[in-house]
Amino acid sequence: MYPVVNSETCVACATCFEVCPAEPKVFEVTDYSKVINPEACLECGACEENCPTGSIKLIDN
């Protein structure tokens, strides 16, 4: 599994970046959050659970 960000609803709050325990980080935040290292995802779901706009979904590889 890995996260997918809906760029239409993402508000670039960086919550996903802050709660993600993976190293290297899975996300980069600019105008919106981007998944830059999907292979680093630990599949913990913290990003999906904490996204205030519901813009992140974990999907199967």
pLDDT recorded at residue 61: 80
Domain ranges of the chain: 2-59
Closest to 3 (Cα-Cα) out of 29, 36, 32: 36
- What CATH number was assigned to the domain covering residues 2-59? 3.30.70.20
Alpha helices, H only, 5-52: 15-19, 46-50
Which residues make beta-bridge pairs with 11?
Answer: none
- Give residue 42's pLDDT: 98
pLDDT at 45: 97
Identify the pLDDT of residue 39.
96
**How many of the other CB atoms lie within 10 Å of CB of 34?**
15
User: What pairing do the DSSP bridges indicate for beta strands 27-29 and 56-59?
Assistant: unpaired
Segments of the chain scoring below 50 in pLDDT: none
